[in-house]
Amino acid sequence: MSEQTTKPIPGPVDDSRTVSPLERNLIERVSVGDITTRAAEQFGDRLAIIDGARSLSFLALNEQATRLGSALLGTGLGAGDVVAVMARNCSELLITYFACAKAGLICAPVNLGLKEPEIIYCLHDSGARALIAGNDLAEAVTPLPAALPALERIYWTGAIVPNVVKSAGTFEELLMAGTTRELETIIHDRDPVQILYTSGTTAQPKGVLTSHLAVTITALSAALTGSMNRASASLALLPLFHCAQLNADVVPMLTVGGTVVLMPGFDAALVPALIERHRISHILLLPMMYAALLQNPNTRNHDLSSVRFARYAMAPMPQERLEAIHALFPHADVILGSGQTEFTPPTTFQLPAHQLSKAASWGPATVMVRTAIMDEQGQLLPSGQIGELVYRGPQVMNGYLNQPEATAASFRHGWFHSGDVAWIDEEGVVWFTDRKKDMIKSGGENVASIEVERCLMEHPGVAEAAVIGLPHEYWGEAVTAAVILKPGQQVSEQDLLVHCRERLASFKVPKAIRLVEQFPRTATGKIQKHLLRDELRGVFAGSEEI
């Protein structure tokens, strides 16, 4: 028998003497800025963005992103510097986003729902050197320069430059200072391209640094999951400073040559008209927005048959509302997508087959994500058991800016820790139970706030419900509900208690229910339960045992 010879396993090719690092990088890299370059070549004069009376083709989007990236570098900014954007949904925000990606800069869209001290905190924490702002937000921008020594210059969308310190001109003037030659600069896959700050529902916002690789993988995954293509059109009305609209919808749509129709915010009267006019195929709304559409008598006067994907986020919806949405959009899959800023959503997405049969679930993991359930000791649990939902996949953040301990805590045991309590069934479908911080310990029993909220939402008179735990001398924490009624409904707190007692175990029934007009929310519609707790803290003051 002849002696077998083994060939050495080839390692990385050393071509440094014949190919420069930049040339190699341009050939093989993953860069968000290259998305518009490819799109311009592939889709040319097709419409990329419709922004009111303005529109941009893919060629024009790429040209303007290239010009702006060149101009920003010309102001002295360099790789890794942060450019903040403080504007409502508009084409300038997206041009800036892709310009930063091309130039190796980091784009930091500002959450307009934050208060002045929080905005200052975020801009200071990120070290933003430049700010592009909508001139309709001049009043909110005015106090920022004095509190931000690192901020060097402000550019304004629109023709008028407000009288604000550090103003350096208009967005258009900055744009025209750049060149249309494609930028060629080294960008590594895990270089950060965006920093989004968490919504701050419980504490000071954390800056989530997300890489070119994570954004690109999410774009491809979301486009595949949502059946997006060059014939698709999305109505983008959730704020672009939030990952749901930016990363799970707009960037994927532009990646595959679809059209994005921008709205500065939700308008129940205007949405159906825009769907009809632009033959919108993809919408992404919050549950309360769908409720507003259903309640608006003018909605059904429009042709909504073009919608193929009616997606929703933030929270499941009751069966009655889902069926009404199906009737409103007869050709659409009505599907919940879930995720969080730290893992560039969507990370789970309901299958069309499950949109009614498992409507209360989050659906299975998307194609590039692994999900598992972990106990407190770091052991993975089998299907059906409840624990913390953990993730693995290239969509994960680089980390929290300036918070290494928080980053390490999120990455312990070799998985990203979501902070969500859930279980996974035999089909790999994730069933969310509650946020760990929102679990209520009442009389020694664990109560999932979301289960009580779903029960309340099943009452025909209830529009929305939020359930929290409040300190109580006897129960430790008392299950407490705040409820918003549908317009014109006459429902008492006692009626709702009876409804819950008929459907829930006694320890899950709220000890008190309060009818309210509105909830404290973030700019993206999340209920700020820490503020709700403050508002309702006196409910059990001086109460006897319940």
- CA 430, 435, 440, 445 dihedral sign is positive
CA 196 from chain centre, in angstroms, equals 9
Residue 287's pLDDT is 85
Alpha helices (H) along 182-302: 212-225, 243-245, 251-255, 270-278, 287-295
| Cα–Cα separations (whole angstroms), residue 26 to 102, 325, 462 | 11, 46, 55
Domain 266-435 sits in which CATH superfamily?
A: ANL, N-terminal domain (3.40.50.12780)
CA 315 from chain centre, in angstroms, equals 13
Q: What is the CATH number of domain 59-210?
A: 3.40.50.12780
CA 449/CA 421 separation, integer angstroms: 11
CA 543/CA 256 separation, integer angstroms: 59
| Segments of the chain assigned to CATH 3.40.50.12780 | 59-210, 266-435
Q: What is the pLDDT of residues 450-496, one digit of tens each?
A: 889 989 999 999 999 999 989 887 787 899 999 999 999 999 999 99
Q: How many CB atoms lie within 10 A of CB 49?
A: 23
Q: What is the mean pLDDT of the chain?
A: 92
Q: What is the pLDDT of residues 186-227, one digit of tens each?
A: 999 999 999 999 865 445 789 999 999 999 999 999 999 999
Residue 174's pLDDT is 98
Q: Give this prediction's pTM.
A: 0.85
Residue 545, pLDDT above cutoff 50 = no
- Give the orientation angle of helix 33-43 with respect to helix 58-74, to 10 degrees: 150
Q: What is the pLDDT of residues 324-361, one digit of tens each?
A: 999 999 999 999 999 999 999 999 999 999 998 998 89
Sequence-distant (6+) residues with CB within 8 A of 501 are 509
CATH topology of domain 445-540: GMP Synthetase; Chain A, domain 3 (3.30.300)
Q: What is the pLDDT of residues 35-50, one digit of tens each?
A: 999 999 999 999 999 9
CA 63/CA 69 separation, integer angstroms: 10
Q: Is the peptide bond before 346 cis (omega within 30 degrees of 0)?
A: yes
How is the beta sheet containing 430-435 ordered, strand by strand? 370-374, 387-392, 416-424, 430-435
